[in-house]
Amino acid sequence: MSVYAMIQAMEKLLKLHEGLLDAARKKTDIVKEGSVERLQTLLVKEHKYVQALEQAETNRQKAVDQWLAHAGITLKQPTMTAVLETITDDRAKHDLENIAVKLADTITQLKQQEQLNQALIRQSMQFVELSLDMMNPSLSHMNYGDKHAPVSPERSVFDSRA
């Protein structure tokens, strides 16, 4: 078992995350346009990416476990940093380190893009709620006249000071 099985699994994860990042960027444009149909289609596509990511992550974990078992190394927590420290082949270590850095950068960009999308959707929902509130008048505005107008003291025709 070579390190390159781990590298291939990481490359697969990177490609899937890049595809998900591209979908998140498209989602931003779709939310700005307000196209619900296109958004639904994109959400289905994103769901497929997430399923593929789960499978690819499982494969990556298996590749790491197999490599560690083959190398006779036991780690309490097989993190990428810990695995990199155990690799003796400089070329393989360099390749794995590069792909891990690219994957971390892509995940960071994806999180930022999704935060932007979440903020845009929240603003859109607030706009919709405001529009609905303006279209549906409240009960207090349906009656003519102002019930809460300040009451002026009634004046009598008879002047009691005389």
| Residues contacting 140, CB < 8 A, separation 6+ | 147
Tokens of 27: 């989602």
Fold exhibited by the domain 4-135 = Methane Monooxygenase Hydroxylase; Chain G, domain 1 (1.20.58)
The pLDDT > 70 percentage for the chain reads 83
Q: What are the tens digits of pLDDT across the range 65-118?
A: 999 998 888 888 888 888 888 888 899 999 999 999 999 999 999 999 999 999
Tokens of 18: 């890049």
Q: From CA 75, how far away is CA 85, in angstroms rounded?
A: 11
- Record the pTM: 0.76
**For position 52, what pLDDT does the model report?**
97
